């Protein structure tokens, strides 16, 4: 990788660290603010659901914008949406309006979509053999975000204020204001032609006649693309299903909001800390083995969740969920980037994130309902959530195992 490529990758890692710290803040605060503003506890996680729905809707739009202009422009556009969304959410808290808070959450979803493209932006500036490592470097910035976000919440909650969450959302506004100063270091020009020239030399790509755009029907006949999207959906969806409800479950089991923040912080650390080695593990063992390992960790997390409702059970379950997400999501992303042509980048990556965040939106809505309305106690609701996640994890394991057994190494077919 040249100097400009390395600068872009590290700028994206810094953006993941600073701008990405708002995401654990939204996860920790969204349900708690929703509980304080909504007319019913059943609606508590709707703010988080709307963030994800906003992300789902804006993902294909931002992807096409980046394909037709530059990555930097699309990322700055997402950053602007994050600023507007956080300001609107702050207004909703200030005037005690659940509806305004929901609208701000929905707008903020566009930022979440743009953050998801940090990993793809990193793969644009490097050769195929470095793609997994580039993704890992960018996601490793989340390690700082996992510490910074919850720390800002704890600091804001310690300041005396009639509305305890007002300062927390003010911090999110400030974080978004830092975005342009970081993203200006992302490579300006569209690198799709450069990467296509590199990729043509890669043994996984096929002859010149296949460089023409394939129809969506032909693209999604590829087993590798279907499995990578499915595993991304399940990795992110299961993680979100359990993480979204965890602060409510922790508080419902008699622990405090600060303890909930500490558990989510440990979870976020576990999500991103493995990024320092995930790329190297993928280079050594392959994407399919790492995805399988992630799904196995998910099953182990569910096992610990069933063992009891002590605070250490929450810690163990959420930490394992975090590591499992990293292996499953990084592995699936790497598999996807090697499964399509550079000219199909905007279409395939946009569709991927549309389905991923669409599934995550369903999981977050389901999470709130299962937690608060499927039973008469937080304890039972938490067990039901983990039970719901189990068949999804098993399905992903079966899918990736079948792909491995059939040895679909030739990812792109005519």
CB-based burial, 24-39: b 16+ in 10 Å, e otherwise: bbbbbbbbbbbbebbe
Please determine, for residue 355, whether its predicted confidence score (pLDDT) is greater than 50.
yes
Structural domain harbouring 288: 3-188+217-406
Out of 33-37, 183-187, 201-205, 301-305, give the one with best mean pLDDT: 301-305
Q: What is the dihedral of CA 113, 119, 123, 124, to 10 degrees?
A: 30
Contact 67, 53 (CB under 8 A): no
The pLDDT, as a whole number, for residue 238 is 93
Q: Which pLDDT score, from 0 to 100, does residue 323 have?
A: 95
**Domain tally for the chain?**
1
Residue 392 in contact with residue 239, Cβ under 8 Å? no
CB-based contacts of 32, cutoff 8 Å, min separation 6: 44, 165, 247, 248, 251, 257
Whether the pLDDT of residue 412 is over 70: the answer is no
Residue 383 lies in a domain: yes
Quote the pLDDT of residue 174: 95
User: Is 80 exceeded by the pLDDT of residue 407?
Assistant: no
pLDDT beyond 70 at 192: no
Which of 268, 347, 356 minimizes the C-alpha distance to 52? 356
pLDDT value, residue 298: 96
DSSP annotation string for 260-298: HHHHHHHHHHHHHTTHHHHHHHHHHH-HHHHHHHHHHHH
Picking from 145, 148, 164, the residue whose alpha carbon sits closest to that of residue 156 is 164
The reported pLDDT for the residue numbered 199 is: 45
pLDDT higher at 189 or 259: 259
Percent of the chain with pLDDT over 70: 87
Q: Tell me, yes or no, whether 102 lies in a domain.
A: yes
406-411: average pLDDT: 53
The radius of gyration of the chain from alpha carbons, rounded to an integer in Å, stands at 20
H/E element, 358: helix 345-372
Average pLDDT of the segment spanning 259-272: 85
* Residue 252: count of CB within 10 angstroms of its CB: 19
> What CATH number did the domain enclosing 302 receive?
1.20.1250.20
C-alpha distances in angstroms, 224 versus 3, 111, 281? 32, 28, 19
DSSP symbol at 210:
G
Cα angle vertex 335, ends 330, 337, to 5°?
A: 95
Q: How far apart are CA 142 and CA 346, in angstroms?
A: 24
Task: Select from 226, 195, 172, 145 the least CA-distant residue to 51.
Answer: 172
Question: Is residue 388 domain-resident?
Answer: yes
Query: Model confidence over 87-120: pLDDT tens digits?
Result: 999 999 999 899 999 999 999 999 988 998 898 8
pTM, two decimal places: 0.71
Distance CA 1, CA 407 (A): 30
Angle in degrees, CA 385, 378, 323, rounded to 5: 45
Q: Are 412 and 204 in contact (CB under 8 A)?
A: yes
Quickly list DSSP for 222-264. Answer: -HHHHHHHHHHHHHHHHHHHHHHHHHHHHHHTT--HHHHHHHH
Cβ-Cβ contacts under 8 Å for 109 (sequence gap 6 or more): 50, 51, 52, 53, 54, 55, 56, 57, 58, 81, 85, 357
Residue 231 has pLDDT above 80, yes or no: yes
Asked if 199 and 284 count as a contact pair (C-beta separation under 8 A), the reply is no
pLDDT at 161: 65
Q: Which residue has the tokens 């490793």?
A: 140
Residue 1 Cα distances to 74, 123, 133, 138, 330, angstroms: 23, 11, 11, 15, 20
Per-residue model confidence (pLDDT) at position 191? 45
Instruction: Please answer whether residues 153 and 260 qualify as being in contact, where contact means their C-beta atoms are separated by less than 8 angstroms.
Output: no
Flag whether pLDDT at 206 surpasses 60.
Answer: no
Q: CB within 8 A of 136, min separation 6: which ones?
A: 275, 276, 277, 278, 279, 280, 330
Average pLDDT over the chain, rounded to an integer: 83
**Is 209 among the domain residues?**
no
Q: Is 227 within the bounds of a domain? A: yes
Of 204 and 120, the structure prediction assigns the larger pLDDT to 120
- Is 107 among the domain residues? yes
Give a yes or no: residue 411 inside a domain.
no
Contact 133, 283 (CB under 8 A): yes
**H or E element in which residue 344 lies:** none
Q: What is the mean pLDDT of residues 42-62?
A: 85
Residue 196 pLDDT class (50, 70, 90 cuts): very low
**Do 114 and 62 contact (CB within 8 A), yes or no?**
yes
The residue ranking higher by pLDDT, 204 or 284, is 284
Say which DSSP state 69 is in.
S
Measure the CA angle with vertex 112, ends 340 and 142; round to 5°: 90
The string of pLDDT tens digits covering residues 12-41 is: 999 999 999 998 888 788 878 888 888 777
In tens, the pLDDT along 124-160 reads: 887 777 777 888 889 888 888 888 988 898 888 877 6
Lowest-pLDDT choice from 145-149, 347-351, 389-393, 398-402? 347-351
**Highest-pLDDT range among 33-47, 65-79, 157-171, 209-223:** 65-79
């Amino acid at each position: 990788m040249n100097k400009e490529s390395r600068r872009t990758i590290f700028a994206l890692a810094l953006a993941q660290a600073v701008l990405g710290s708002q995401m654990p803040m939204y996860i920790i605060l969204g349900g708690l603010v929703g509980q304080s503003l909504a007319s019913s506890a059943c609606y508590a996680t709707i703010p988080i659901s709307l963030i994800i729905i906003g992300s789902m809707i804006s993902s294909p739009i931002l992807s096409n914008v980046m394909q037709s202009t530059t990555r930097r422009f699309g990322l700055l556009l997402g950053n602007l949406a994050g600023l507007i969304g956080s300001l609107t959410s702050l207004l909703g808290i200030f005037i005690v309006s659940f509806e305004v808070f929901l609208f701000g959450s929905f707008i903020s979803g566009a930022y979440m979509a743009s953050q998801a493209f940090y990993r793809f932006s990193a793969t644009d500036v490097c050769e195929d053999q470095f793609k997994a490592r580039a993704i890992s470097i960018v996601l490793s910035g989340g390690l700082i975000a996992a510490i910074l976000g919850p720390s800002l919440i704890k600091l804001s909650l310690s300041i005396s204020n009639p509305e305890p969450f007002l300062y927390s959302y003010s911090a999110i506004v400030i974080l978004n204001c830092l975005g342009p100063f970081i993203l200006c270091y992302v490579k300006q020009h569209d690198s799709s032609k450069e990467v296509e020239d590199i990729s043509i030399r890669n043994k996984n790509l096929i002859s010149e006649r296949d460089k023409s755009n394939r129809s969506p029907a032909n693209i999604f006949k590829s087993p590798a693309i279907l499995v990578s999207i499915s595993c991304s959906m399940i990795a992110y969806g299961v993680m979100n299903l359990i993480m979204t409800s965890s602060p409510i479950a922790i508080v419902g089991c008699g622990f405090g909001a600060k303890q909930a923040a500490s558990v989510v912080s440990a979870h976020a650390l576990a999500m991103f800390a493995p990024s320092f080695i995930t790329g190297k593990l993928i280079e050594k063992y392959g994407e399919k083995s790492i995805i399988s390992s992630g799904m196995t960790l998910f099953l182990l997390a569910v096992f610990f969740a069933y063992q009891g409702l002590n605070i250490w059970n929450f810690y163990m379950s959420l930490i394992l969920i975090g590591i499992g997400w990293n292996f499953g999501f990084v592995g699936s992303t790497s598999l996807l980037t090697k499964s399509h042509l550079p000219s199909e980048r905007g279409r395939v990556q946009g569709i991927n994130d549309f389905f991923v965040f669409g599934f995550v939106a369903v999981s977050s809505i389901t999470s709130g309902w299962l937690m608060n309305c499927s039973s008469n106690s937080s304890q039972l609701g938490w067990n039901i959530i983990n039970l719901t996640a189990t068949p999804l994890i098993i399905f992903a394991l079966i899918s990736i195992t079948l792909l491995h057994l059939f040895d679909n190494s030739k990812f792109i077919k005519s």
